[in-house]
């Protein structure tokens, strides 16, 4: 895939032929000289597993999945070690198998990856692939090769600007005779198509094509500003890395001087940007240190006429490649090969408000699909190297049947509302009283001369991303208003919550809107602030913590957290929310120390005769930082949480069941793990799943 060479431009070198195969292949791959490496492979006999794996990576990165699979299979046959291959190697094998349509083999190899690297986000996504949401297009989508645009070279990264399509291409260009020695193609430059012809893209007095003698592009546009990626002229470690630049449009419609993005750094690549006008934010791609791996998506906010520090877009990133972001409204489109997709780079859409993402199955293929751009609701452009294209990467046009999509969405909304109503109706009475029984219960308390009253009512639940109350829910609240009018000394405490989908700030705002809805209803019924105390908590206090990445958390769990709670009391200021009462005694651990791996038996004192015993580490404590040999064979991951507080709540829960668990921070998530002295077999894992829910095994 020649387009991937955009990630760095290398100075050409000549190496001596006397090197060993492994060292030579490593150096050629490090310099992205894949064509030279493939020629070398044709005349070289490979022996070791590492040599074959290097060959597999080179073939994979050169869009030759068949040769890659043969090399990876040869590496497995030559492997004499019990240690698993690197994550990069295993996943490249998976991806090559997917591109060849060998889905069953790819799934088995992905199981190997997940077993060897369970802490990786790719593994978590794979283990929970059944929960991943896919964009469903009931009316289908029409796609066609864009007419009058494509060439036999690489054409990609389309953006529609001022009624013209701007895109990147490595096609021959008059006046630019230099070629990239790795591909023998001209350097990539920005081009423009205005529905009649294709020509080089120019900007006023200084053509953008001259911004660098090497690669220039992709290009994106913001508010009176153009952003573009180009190769630096100063090399570091033999690399001319990509960096991000911009030019501003002046009052006379000319373009100002070139400005370097302040987050550029010659030690890593920065580029492929998209401007978010609503959030005043620039999303971009980088392989800077501290990411999950490959290339990740980052963003920088524009505040007070300067750029804030770069932040990773954690929900989008994996250990693979996340590339080519493009924004349309609240939706960010990007390409990734780290999600459980069809193969190569797949298109993904992410709602930035709700943090809900979808795989675009109807558009994706087993090839590389990337650089999406919407020019209207349901229509746009993307690039692909699928077989239906010409040579290299080509630009496609797509159209979605929006009428059928909206009709289907209306049906789903109706079905979801009915499902939520059924869930609501099946809820057992919680706390001390249900809504119809509240007036009588409160009246009995008053007649008995009680001094303290706290009555907890069942929560009211909300549809996804909604803050309104249904007629049925308002009818329940009439019992509360009746009680408050009859007994002015009583108060109602209202606490609103959101589920984990979305940013912390968005969920806090949504729970505030839910509280405001209830407050307006009580006000309409004559209940004043003297009898009303409201709180909104966002996602910070879930009724049912999600034990996995929230983007793939089941809806029934998230539904239980979209709620408003009601407490009727005569002492509102004395009320303090707390965890459920428990007799658990938790040993305190100093903050700077890791919990020990001390265990208590996992099997009850009198297990059922037919119950499969499960193994636990010995009760004698071992230092967590340096366990005795054989003390911990693996960890059983029992949950992955967005915050440390949610992980701590899970720890308390499992301690109460007799499990001695600990918390590990992995890639910004907090995981609750159970140390085991032996790796559990399938039967034992089934027992764990029956007791603990979804779990998976991680290496120590």
Over range 203-214, report the average pLDDT.
Answer: 75
Residue 602, pLDDT > 50, answer no
Say what the pLDDT of residue 399 is.
92
Residue 582, pLDDT > 80, answer no
Residue 128, pLDDT > 90, answer no
Residue 576, pLDDT > 70, answer no
Say what the pLDDT of residue 609 is.
32
| 137 — pLDDT class (breaks 50, 70, 90) | confident
Say what the pLDDT of residue 667 is.
66
Say what the pLDDT of residue 176 is.
65
List, for residues 252-282, the tens digit of each pLDDT value.
888 888 899 999 998 899 999 999 999 999 9
Lowest average pLDDT, out of 212-221, 450-459, 604-613, goes to: 604-613
Which is more confident, 196 or 488? 488
Say what the pLDDT of residue 390 is.
73
Say what the pLDDT of residue 75 is.
93
**Class of residue 370 by CB neighbours under 10 A (exposed 0-12, middle 13-18, buried 19+):** buried
Say what the pLDDT of residue 427 is.
56
Residue 332, pLDDT > 90, answer yes
Per residue in 53-81, is it b (16+ CB within 10 Å) or e — as a string? bbbbbbbbbbbbbebbbbbbebbeeebee
Lowest average pLDDT, out of 162-166, 420-424, 621-625, goes to: 621-625
Lowest average pLDDT, out of 183-187, 301-305, 321-325, goes to: 183-187
Per residue in 382-418, is it b (16+ CB within 10 Å) or e — as a string? bbbbbeebeebbbbbbbebbeeebeeeeeeeeeeeee
**Class of residue 158 by CB neighbours under 10 A (exposed 0-12, middle 13-18, buried 19+):** buried
Which residues, 6 or more positions from 375, have their beta carbon under 8 angstroms from its beta carbon? 160, 381
| Domain at 596-700, CATH class | alpha beta
**Neighbour count for residue 600 (Cβ, 10 Å):** 12
CA-wise closest residue to 332 among 310, 352, 347, 355: 352
Lowest average pLDDT, out of 82-91, 426-435, 629-638, goes to: 426-435
Stated as kind and residue range, the H or E segment containing 112 is helix 103-116
Residue 129, token pair as written in the block:
């692939």
Over range 590-612, report the average pLDDT.
Answer: 30
Over range 141-161, report the average pLDDT.
Answer: 91
Residue ranges, comma separated, of all CATH 1.25.40 domains in the chain are 2-118
| 579 — pLDDT class (breaks 50, 70, 90) | very low
Which residues, 6 or more positions from 344, have their beta carbon under 8 angstroms from its beta carbon? 95, 98, 99, 337, 365, 366, 367, 368, 369, 385
Over range 649-664, report the average pLDDT.
Answer: 82
Which is more confident, 418 or 28? 28
> Which CATH number is associated with domain 141-400?
2.120.10.30
Of the chain, the percentage scoring pLDDT greater than 70 comes to 84
What integer best gives the mean pLDDT of the chain?
81
List, for residues 366-402, the tens digit of each pLDDT value.
999 999 999 888 899 999 988 876 778 999 999 998 8
| φ, ψ (nearest 5 deg) of residue 280 | 50, 60
Residue 110, pLDDT > 90, answer yes
Q: Quick one: CATH architecture of 431-574?
A: 2-Layer Sandwich (3.30)
Over range 449-466, report the average pLDDT.
Answer: 83
Strand partners, 186: 179
| 669 — pLDDT class (breaks 50, 70, 90) | confident
Residue ranges, comma separated, of all CATH 3.30.70.1070 domains in the chain are 596-700
Residue ranges, comma separated, of all CATH 2.120.10.30 domains in the chain are 141-400
| 166 — pLDDT class (breaks 50, 70, 90) | very high
Residue 301, pLDDT > 90, answer yes
Say what the pLDDT of residue 589 is.
29
Say what the pLDDT of residue 553 is.
79
> Is 403 strand, coil or helix?
helix
- Largest distance between two CA atoms of the chain: 99
Over range 494-518, report the average pLDDT.
Answer: 90
Q: Rounded CA gap, 539 and 641, in Å? A: 12
Lowest average pLDDT, out of 156-170, 509-523, 652-666, 678-692, goes to: 678-692
Say what the pLDDT of residue 5 is.
36
Contact between 653 and 638 (Cβ < 8 Å): no
pTM equals: 0.72
Q: According to the per-residue pLDDT averaged within each range, which of 244-253, 315-324, 499-508 is highest?
A: 315-324
Which is more confident, 336 or 408? 336
Say what the pLDDT of residue 107 is.
93
Cα 621 to Cα 130, 302, 586, 601, 661, distances in angstroms: 38, 51, 16, 13, 13
Asked if the 2-118 domain carries CATH number 3.30.2420, the reply is no
Say what the pLDDT of residue 313 is.
92
Say what the pLDDT of residue 11 is.
38
Q: Rounded CA gap, 216 and 209, in Å? A: 7
Q: Rounded CA gap, 324 and 296, in Å? A: 10
Over range 54-77, report the average pLDDT.
Answer: 92
Over range 623-650, report the average pLDDT.
Answer: 68
Contact between 106 and 65 (Cβ < 8 Å): no
Residue ranges, comma separated, of all CATH 3.30.1330.60 domains in the chain are 431-574
Cα 285 to Cα 3, 7, 230, 254, 381, distances in angstroms: 15, 10, 13, 28, 20
E-assigned strand segments in 123-174: 141-145, 155-161, 164-169
């Amino acid at each position: 895939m020649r387009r991937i060479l955009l990630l760095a431009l290398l100075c050409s070198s000549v190496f001596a032929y006397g090197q060993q195969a492994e060292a030579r292949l490593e150096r050629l791959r490090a310099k992205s000289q894949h064509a030279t490496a493939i020629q070398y492979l044709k005349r070289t006999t490979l022996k070791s597993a590492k040599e074959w794996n290097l060959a597999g990576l080179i073939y994979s990165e050169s869009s030759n999945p068949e040769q890659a699979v043969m090399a990876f299979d040869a590496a497995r046959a030559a492997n004499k070690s019990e240690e698993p291959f690197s994550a990069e190697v295993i996943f490249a094998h998976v991806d090559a198998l997917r591109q060849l349509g060998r889905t069953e083999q790819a799934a088995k190899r992905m199981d190997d990856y997940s077993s060897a690297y369970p802490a990786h986000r790719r593994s978590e996504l794979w283990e929970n692939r059944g929960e991943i949401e896919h964009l469903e297009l009931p009316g289908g989508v029409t796609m066609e090769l864009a007419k009058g645009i494509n060439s036999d070279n690489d054409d990609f990264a389309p953006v529609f600007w001022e009624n013209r399509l701007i895109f990147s291409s490595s096609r021959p260009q008059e006046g630019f005779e230099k070629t990239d020695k790795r591909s023998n193609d001209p350097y990539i430059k920005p081009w423009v198509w205005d529905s009649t012809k294709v020509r080089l893209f120019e900007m006023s007095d200084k053509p953008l094509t001259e911004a660098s003698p090497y690669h220039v592009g992709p290009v994106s546009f913001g508010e009176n500003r153009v952003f573009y990626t180009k190769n630096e002229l100063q090399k570091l470690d033999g690399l001319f890395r990509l960096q991000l630049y911009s030019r501003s449009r002046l009052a006379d419609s000319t373009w100002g001087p070139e400005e370097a993005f302040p987050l550029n750094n010659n030690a890593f690549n920065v580029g492929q940007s998209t401007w978010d006008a609503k959030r005043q934010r620039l999303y971009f791609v980088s392989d800077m240190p501290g990411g999950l791996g490959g290339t990740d998506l980052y963003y920088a906010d524009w505040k007070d006429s300067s750029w804030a520090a770069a932040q990773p877009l954690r929900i989008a990133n994996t250990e693979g490649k996340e590339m080519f972001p493009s924004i349309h409204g609240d939706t960010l489109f990007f390409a990734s090969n780290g999600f459980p997709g069809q193969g190569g780079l797949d298109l993904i859409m992410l709602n930035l408000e709700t943090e809900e993402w979808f795989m675009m199955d109807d558009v994706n293929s087993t090839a590389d699909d990337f650089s999406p751009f919407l020019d209207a609701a349901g229509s746009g452009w993307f690039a692909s190297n699928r077989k239906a294209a010409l040579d290299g990467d080509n630009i496609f046009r797509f159209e979605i049947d929006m009428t059928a999509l909206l009709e289907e969405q209306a049906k789903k909304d109706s079905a979801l509302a009915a499902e939520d109503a059924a869930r609501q109706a099946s809820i057992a009475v919680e706390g001390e009283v249900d809504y119809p029984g509240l007036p009588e219960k409160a009246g009995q308390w008053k007649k008995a001369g009680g001094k303290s009253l706290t009555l907890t009512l069942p929560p009211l639940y909300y549809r996804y991303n909604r803050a309104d109350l249904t007629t049925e829910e308002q009818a329940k609240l009439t019992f509360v208003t009746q009680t408050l009018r009859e007994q002015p000394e009583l108060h109602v405490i209202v606490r609103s919550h959101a589920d984990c989908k979305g940013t912390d700030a968005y969920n806090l705002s949504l729970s505030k809107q839910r509280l405001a809805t209830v407050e307006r209803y009580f006000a309409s019924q004559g209940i004043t602030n003297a009898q009303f105390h409201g709180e909104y908590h966002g996602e910070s206090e879930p009724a049912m913590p999600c034990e996995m990445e929230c983007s793939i958390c089941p809806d029934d769990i998230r539904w239980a957290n979209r709620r408003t709670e009601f407490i009727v009391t005569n002492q509102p200021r004395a009320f303090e929310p707390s965890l459920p009462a428990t007799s658990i005694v938790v040993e305190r651990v100093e903050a700077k120390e890791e919990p020990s791996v001390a265990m208590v038996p996992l099997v009850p004192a009198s297990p059922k005769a037919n119950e499969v015993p499960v193994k636990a580490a010995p009760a004698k404590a071992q230092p967590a930082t340096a366990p005795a040999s054989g003390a911990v064979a693996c960890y059983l991951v029992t949950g992955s949480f967005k915050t440390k507080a949610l992980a701590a709540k899970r720890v308390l829960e499992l301690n109460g069941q007799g499990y001695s668990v600990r918390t590990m921070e992995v890639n910004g998530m907090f995981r609750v793990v159970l140390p085991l002295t032996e790796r559990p077999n399938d039967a034992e894992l089934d027992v764990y799943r029956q007791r603990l829910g979804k779990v998976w095994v991680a290496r120590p």
